[in-house]
């Protein structure tokens, strides 16, 4: 197993509920070490670009509106198998289907306002990290703003 990096976002509902500390604390307990963190208020263009893969989905407009509705915490997490580990700690997209003690089971309101985002593959993690963190970007990916 090698060290890997993944992008994590604490979504506006998580910031609003005041669970930033709990979420980051849980990542640390699970061996996911934050190596970059910043808060941001995503613009519509940034949120649309980030979720471009979901453009054709019926929930796209609402998702962009939700993700721009308040501040988010953008983080790069590093650890063994960080992508898979982060997704395990987050739990299923829909909190009703998430395993006990996962972040989404503990904190999420519904399938949209589900508190955290995590990259779903090592390749996507590289793209997503570069999207928000130019200083840690891999040179093959372009800063998109």
Ligand X SMILES: Nc1ncnc2c1ncn2[C@@H]1O[C@H](COP(=O)(O)OP(=O)(O)OP(=O)(O)O)[C@@H](O)[C@H]1O
Q: Which residues participate in catalysis according to the annotation?
A: 117
Closer CB to ligand X, residue 79 or residue 139? 79
Q: Does 16 bind ligand X (CB under 6 A)?
A: no
DSSP string covering 45-85, please? HHHHHHTGGGTTSTTHHHHHHHHTSS-EEEEEEEEETHHHH
Q: Does 12 bind ligand X (CB under 6 A)?
A: no
Does 114 count as an annotated binding residue?
yes
Q: What H or E segment, with its residue span, contains residue 113?
A: none
What is the distance between the alpha carbons of residues 99 and 105, in angstroms, rounded to a whole number?
A: 7
CB of 12 to ligand X, least distance (A): 10
Residue 99 DSSP class? P
Distances 45 to 59, 72, 82, 115, 128 between C-alpha atoms, Å: 16, 15, 28, 21, 15
What is the distance between the alpha carbons of residues 106 and 90, in angstroms, rounded to a whole number?
A: 9
Q: Which residues lie across from 73 on neighbouring strands?
A: 10, 39
Does 104 count as an annotated binding residue?
yes
Closer CB to ligand X, residue 93 or residue 101? 93
Pick out residues in 83-122 that bind ligand X (CB under 6 A).
Answer: 93, 111-112, 114, 117-118, 120
Q: Does 63 bind ligand X (CB under 6 A)?
A: yes
Closer CB to ligand X, residue 12 or residue 137? 12
> How many residues bind ligand X, per CB under 6 A?
10
List contacts with ligand X (CB under 6 A). 54, 59, 63, 93, 111-112, 114, 117-118, 120
In the annotated binding site for ATP, the residues are 11, 59, 87, 93, 104, 114
């Amino acid at each position: 197993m090698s060290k890997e990096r993944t992008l994590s976002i604490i979504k506006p509902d998580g910031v609003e509920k005041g669970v930033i500390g709990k979420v980051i604390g849980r990542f640390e307990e699970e061996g996911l070490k934050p190596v970059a963190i910043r808060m941001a208020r995503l613009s519509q263009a940034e949120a649309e670009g980030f979720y471009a893969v979901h453009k054709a989905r019926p929930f796209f407009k609402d998702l962009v509106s939700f993700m721009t509705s308040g501040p988010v915490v953008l983080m790069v997490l590093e650890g063994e198998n960080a992508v898979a580990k982060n997704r395990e700690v987050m739990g299923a997209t829909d909190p009703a289907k998430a395993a006990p003690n996962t972040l989404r089971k503990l904190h999420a309101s519904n399938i949209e306002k589900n508190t955290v985002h995590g990259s779903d593959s090592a390749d996507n993690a590289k793209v997503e990290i570069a999207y928000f963190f130019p200083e840690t970007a891999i040179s093959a990916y372009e800063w998109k703003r």
